[in-house]
Amino acid sequence: MSVRRRLVVANWKLNGDLTLIGKMSAALNGLTDTTAEMVVCPAYPYLGSLSASKVKFSIGAQNMSQYTSGAFTGEVSASMLSAFDVKYVILGHSERRAIFGESNEIIAEKFALAVKNGVHPILCVGETEEQRNNDETEAVIGAQVKAVMDKVGVKAFIDAVIAYEPVWAIGTGKTATAEMAQQVHRFIRQQVASEDQQVADTLPILYGGSVNAGNAKDLFAQADIDGGLVGGASLKVEEFLAIGRSV
Ligand code: 13P
């Protein structure tokens, strides 16, 4: 088995400001004691300033359009992201699926465009509490991964990342136990392996959902957990650094 890349990704959602951009940049530029690639995904307006200041960490966006150009007011394209050194884009976050009605098909279209433009997708999947209670976790996640894989082909996952984010663990302080998370991560890796073993072996699979400095080490120690996608705790500079050091 090959060594996989480790990533710790900050998803700031609709939070953060120029002050936090400055503080986080200074702190991450000086962070040397982690083997993880640190990624910050702020709201769109801040991407340009991170890019212009040539930060030492990676830049990601939280979303992008499924269209390339044209009369789509309010949208941002993959090529626009790539022009600003945006290396990653979070796609299919459960908040996009639930609040903004993004379907697996739309997410698959975005995934294809991101890859085509050299932006690495971070594909989010996860079950709701009700689905977990009904024993539908694997069926739901399997379908979310398959919808994208069928459209773009397994080879498009070579430069991609998957994030497992159980919806019931997002912003609730309820984390999946390390064992629960590991079980789903293994399931996802096996699903990708059924199409292509090599892609599965090198695919980083991140855990997200109430990750903090206290639980990160235990989660990241699991065989198939290659880092984290962090919401609330990524808005606190010291805590985000501590999560990075947990890798
Ligand atoms: P929290 O870490 O705030 O639970 O959010 C997780 C998340 O949605 C990251 O994408």
Residue 123's contacts (CB-CB under 8 Å, 6 or more residues apart) are 91, 92, 107, 111, 145, 148, 160, 161, 162, 163
Of 116, 197, 105, which is closest to residue 154 (Cα–Cα)?
Answer: 197
Q: How far is the CA of 69 from the centre of ligand 1 (A)?
A: 30
Question: Is residue 22 pLDDT above 70, yes or no?
Answer: yes
- Selecting among 102, 109, 127, 165, the annotated active-site residue is 165
Q: What is the pLDDT of residues 40-78, one digit of tens each?
A: 999 999 999 999 999 999 999 999 999 999 999 999 999
2 lies in a domain? no
Q: How far is the CA of 233 from the centre of ligand 1 (A)?
A: 8
> How many domains does the structure of the chain reveal?
1
Q: How far is the CA of 170 from the centre of ligand 1 (A)?
A: 5
CATH code where residue 74 lies: 3.20.20.70
pTM for this model (two decimals) = 0.97
Of 219, 233, 173, which is closest to residue 6 (Cα–Cα)?
Answer: 219
C-beta of 94 in contact with ligand 1 (< 6 A): no
Active site residue 165: yes
Cα separation, 166 vs 94, whole angstroms: 9
Show the domain range for 225: 7-245
Residue whose CB lies within 8 A of the most ligand 1 atoms, among 95, 164, 170, for a mutation test = 170
Q: What is the pLDDT of residues 153-168, one digit of tens each?
A: 999 999 999 999 999 9
